[in-house]
Structure 1
Amino acid sequence: MSSALPHDLNIEARYVLAKQVAQEAARRGMAYYQKREELNIEHKGDDRQDLVSIADRALEDYIRAELLAAFPEDGFLGEESGSADLSARCLWVVDPIDGTACFVNGLHNWCVSIGMLLDGTPHIGAIADPNHIELFHGVRGQGAFVNERPLRVSKASHVREGLMGVGTFYPRGTEYFLPFLTSLLGEGGMFLRNGSGALMTAYVAAGRLLGYYETLLKSWDCAAGLVLVAEAGGRSNDFLRGEGLLHGNPYLVACPGVYEQVAEMIGPMLNSD
């Protein structure tokens, strides 16, 4: 691919750093994971599904410190620590442990997700999965990879040809979930929910899933993955429209051959704020 890197910003250095920090954070996360019985697990507010542990906070502190030490002019948005300078041209959007429920329950479906938006567009992505020794990474205009292998989305043309990733979590939008599953199954499709939006997005980029639909996703779960899907030839809805960066939106990524089919199953709510 031809280069699309801005000349006035050191995007390559940020890309290298994102990969390094994601891998080191994942290594540190694995140390917590192996002693997860000792962690103090909390619930966020009244949401009994949304868990947080000392590991989430410690990893985000590490990631934030490393990124902003190297690039103090950049902005930062993290799931646990909130935001700083959202108006910066380069904005890091981070989930220190995506899949915390899996993490605390001993399931291997969790990862570290580090994305960077350039002028509001996802530009760098690094998703580190220490359980499977995989680093999904990419930069806009430069391709996407798992470790050093290029990523390409599936060539499927119908949902019956593979698996769809699905999810619903927050109360908003859940009423659309069962009708969508009914439509998917009616077309002969199958589905998977693994507990990590970042990983399911990466799996779409890798061609392992045909697509991934979530009734409401947060930006830190997909900022990195959106880069990978775009670079691997996939499609996505306009996730960041409206207040998507801070409050999330309905979310769909898919290979081109099934995107319209799945979008029709979801209906108008896909593009509602």
Structure 2
Amino acid sequence: MNSHLMQHLSWVDYHQRILGDEAIVLLPCGALEQHGPHLPLGTDALLSSAVALDVAREVGGIVAPAFNYGYRSQPKCGGGQHFCGTTSLDGNNLSQMTRDVIREFARHGVRRLALIDGHYENQWFLTEGIELAMRDLSQQGTRTPPLRVVRLEYWDFLTEPTLAKVFPEGFPGFALEHAAVMETSMMLHYHPDLVSTDKIPDDRPADFPPYDTYPARTGWVPLSGVLSSARGASAVKGALLAQEVAQRVAAALRAEFSDLS
């Protein structure tokens, strides 16, 4: 079976792909987090998985099952933990899960691994897990582990010309784009059946102070959980975003892993 999904492969086919074909393994990383009244709780994992599959088609890669839980939602980029349905991990648990999975991929013989992150808050805990796994592998007898890992946030591959087309009135920044035009457009492209366009709120962009408080000030966050309006989102914009991300991520991975051939 010529599938890009790891869970659809037999262990024999998977073994051949990673050792014989030297396929890149892509690990989507998301969260279970509120995304307003119009998007599903699984948006981050759904989008990182869809992006990973697009990239896998470009590079002949394999997409591993996604991390569906992520680090705790923060008010200024995800709305916060007070919304029903948001179900999160402590940072150490996410790091240790990342560490375990990477060590397992290394045991399989994977040499090229890319973590495709779709949840803003995950970044440093994924990084910690990668660092710990690489240290573990180094201590097993080789100075430089045969595995190379890339961690990326897919939105960082969007260019200013594309963002200008998607946001003709100005780009509010990735943190405020939670459940807004970018994510809603990409969901309309990948999973239109999961988007309730009639429920898109029309809140003004959230206005946060330049500091955080603990306990979190839930009153800072719009009641809808959306940090910037998704009005103006469309499947056409989602296709534009998805195409650029897939092509540019694929090019970056080809370049990064080229010397391992």
TM-score (norm 2): 0.27
TM-score (norm 1): 0.26
Q: Relative contact order (C-alpha < 8 Å, sep 6+): which is higher?
A: 2
**Whose strand proportion is higher, 1 or 2?**
1
**Whose helix proportion is higher, 1 or 2?**
2
